[in-house]
Amino acid sequence: MKYYRLNYQTASESVSSKRKFKSRNAAIDYAFSKFSRDTELNYEHELTNHVVEYVCSNNNRFIVSRCFA
Per residue in 9-57, pLDDT tens? 887 888 898 999 999 999 999 999 988 889 999 999 999 999 999 999 8
Question: Is the pLDDT higher at 58 or at 61?
Answer: 61
Are the beta carbons of 61 and 44 closer than 8 angstroms? no
Q: What's the pLDDT at 43? A: 94
Q: What's the pLDDT at 10? A: 81
Question: Taking Cα atoms as reference points, which of 3, 10, 54, 12 lies closest to residue 34?
Answer: 10
Strand 61-68: give its sheet, edge to edge. Answer: 14-16, 2-9, 61-68, 51-56, 41-48
Residue-wise DSSP of 30-59: HHHHHS-TT--EEEEEEEETTEEEEEESTT
